């Protein structure tokens, strides 16, 4: 199909498609004339995937490109693809002589990092040093301490146990796909796209419970249908 048809099929405007082609997010079509190319179903699929990561999930073009490159290059190594989608780049044996210093040396250690690692150890999670989620957790723990809230790393353990169950579901989502490329894409979907869904589910559950616990005689404009 022509680029105009590709745009019609996916709802993405042609100038934006051309931008994704220039940036290498979308592989080039099969050239049919000096200034024309033919696109296939793979392009439709890839373009929808791009729009999900950028549009629905709010990733930057460069982060999206990094993930797409990882899917193509590392599709045989799901741990790598998953790691890149999580913002981690697990060390590979054959890349040990790489030039990048570990993330730990780049940024100053945030307050709360020791407590974050206590929680991680308690949960038995083996994570790479550069996992930015440990720093996020550290920041939240530091902020809670700063505010005098009596929630420390032990107070987050019940949340950690539920997060562990969620990750079990996530890994279970990956077992269905046979095709390596589809499996790699699925890893990204689960890692990246389910994040907003999960927060949304918690907020919906919270509102329901908040109404029951604190709403008293003011049920508001509620609907469950």
What is the Cα 92 distance to its own chain's centre? 21
Stretch 58-77 residues interacting with a second copy (CB under 8 A): 77
98 binds a second copy (CB under 8 A): no
Stretch 32-51 residues interacting with a second copy (CB under 8 A): 45, 48-49
Query: Could you give the 3-state DSSP secondary structure of residue 91?
Result: coil
Rounded-to-10 torsion of CA 163, 169, 170, 173: -170
198 binds a second copy (CB under 8 A): yes
Query: Could you give the 3-state DSSP secondary structure of residue 171?
Result: helix
Crossing angle for the helix pair 180-188 and 78-85, to the nearest 10 degrees: 20
101 binds a second copy (CB under 8 A): no
Ramachandran class of 216: left when φ > 0, alpha when ψ lies in -120 to 50, beta otherwise: left
Among 93, 97, 101, 178, binds a second copy (CB under 8 A): 93
Stretch 121-160 residues interacting with a second copy (CB under 8 A): 121, 123-131, 133-134, 136-137, 139-141, 143-144, 146-151, 156, 158-160
Beta strands in 39-125, from DSSP E residues, in sequence order: none
Span from 1-9, 25-33, 64-72, 189-197 in contact with a second copy (CB under 8 A):
189-197
86 binds a second copy (CB under 8 A): yes
Cβ-based nearer residue to a second copy, 37 or 142:
142
224 binds a second copy (CB under 8 A): yes
């Amino acid at each position: 199909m022509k680029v105009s048809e590709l745009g019609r099929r996916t709802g993405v405007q042609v100038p934006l498609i051309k931008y994704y082609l220039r940036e290498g997010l979308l592989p080039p079509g099969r050239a049919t004339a000096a200034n024309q190319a033919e696109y296939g179903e793979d392009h439709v699929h890839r373009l929808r995937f791009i729009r999900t990561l950028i549009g629905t999930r709010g990733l930057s073009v460069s982060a999206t490109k990094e993930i797409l490159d990882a899917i193509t290059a590392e599709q045989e190594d799901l741990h790598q693809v998953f790691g890149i989608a999580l913002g981690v780049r697990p060390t590979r044996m054959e890349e040990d002589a790489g030039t990048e210093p570990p993330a730990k040396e780049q940024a100053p250690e945030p307050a709360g990092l020791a407590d974050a690692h206590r929680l991680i150890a308690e949960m038995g999670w083996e994570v790479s040093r550069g996992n930015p989620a440990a720093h996020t957790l550290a920041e939240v723990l530091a902020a809670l301490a700063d505010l005098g809230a009596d929630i420390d790393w032990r107070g987050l353990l019940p949340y950690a146990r539920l997060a562990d169950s969620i990750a079990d579901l996530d890994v279970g989502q990956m077992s269905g796909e046979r095709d390596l490329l589809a499996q790699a894409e699925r890893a990204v979907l689960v890692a990246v796209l389910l994040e907003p869904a999960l927060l949304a589910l918690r907020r919906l559950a919270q509102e329901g419970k908040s109404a029951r616990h604190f709403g008293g005689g003011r049920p508001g404009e509620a609907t469950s249908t």
